[in-house]
């Protein structure tokens, strides 16, 4: 048996060694900056916190403080927003459950997040399919992250 001797590879002059670097793919943003999110919240401070968080995250925001304003907007808009964040208890009808259902009637792919301090146990009965429920109090960044998740799931 011959002892192991490493072999050295020497390319011949006829061999050409060419490496073509792969073309870099453009960085795909998680979402376009033109994504419109509708926020419906009757408590001004919470509405302001959500509006700021979504704006800083690159969303366009339409915010309303009552159910009738939100329904009027949804019924009158030609291009439905891609996301909805709504409180459930808005005082006068319609409530957040109804706004979520109306938004989903207009666009099957709209991402819906409900927020509430007390009606979380009714979400499985009144909430639209593939929506999320966020219990108050919450960090606004959590709601933004949840929206990004829902919008990412819509592409699959």
| pLDDT in the model for residue 35 | 79
What count of residues does the chain have? 156
| Fold (CATH) for 36-154 | Rossmann fold (3.40.50)
Indicate if the pLDDT at residue 64 is higher than 90. yes
Percent of the residues in the chain that have a pLDDT greater than 90, as a whole number: 53
- The pLDDT value recorded for residue 78 is 72
- Per-residue pLDDT of 65-106, as tens digits, reads 999 999 999 988 777 789 999 999 888 789 999 999 999 998
Q: Where are the domains of the chain?
A: 36-154
Task: State pLDDT tens for residues 12-21.
Answer: 555 454 545 4
111 vs 37: CA distance, rounded Å: 9
* Residue range 18-45: mean pLDDT, rounded: 63
User: Residue 76's pLDDT is what?
Assistant: 85
Q: How far is CA 50 from CA 13, 62, 144, in A?
A: 66, 11, 8
CA of 5: how far to CAs of 10, 12, 44, in Å?
15, 21, 79
Residue 94 neighbours by CB under 8 Å, 6+ apart: 67, 68, 70, 71, 102
């Amino acid at each position: 048996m011959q002892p192991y001797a490493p072999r050295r590879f020497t390319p011949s002059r006829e061999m050409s060694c060419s490496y073509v670097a792969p073309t870099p793919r453009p960085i795909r943003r998680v979402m376009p900056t033109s994504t419109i999110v509708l926020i419906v919240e009757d408590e001004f401070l919470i509405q302001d916190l959500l509006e700021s968080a979504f704006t800083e995250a690159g969303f366009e925001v339409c915010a309303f403080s009552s159910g009738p304003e939100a329904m009027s907007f949804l019924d009158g808009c030609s291009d439905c927003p891609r996301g909805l964040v709504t409180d459930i208890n808005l005082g006068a009808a319609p409530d957040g459950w109804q706004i979520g259902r109306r938004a989903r009637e207009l666009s099957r792919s709209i991402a819906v997040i409900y927020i509430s301090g007390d009606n979380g146990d009714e979400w499985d009965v009144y909430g639209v399919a593939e929506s999320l429920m966020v219990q108050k109090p919450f960090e606004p960044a959590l709601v933004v992250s949840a929206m990004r998740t829902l919008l990412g799931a819509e592409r699959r």
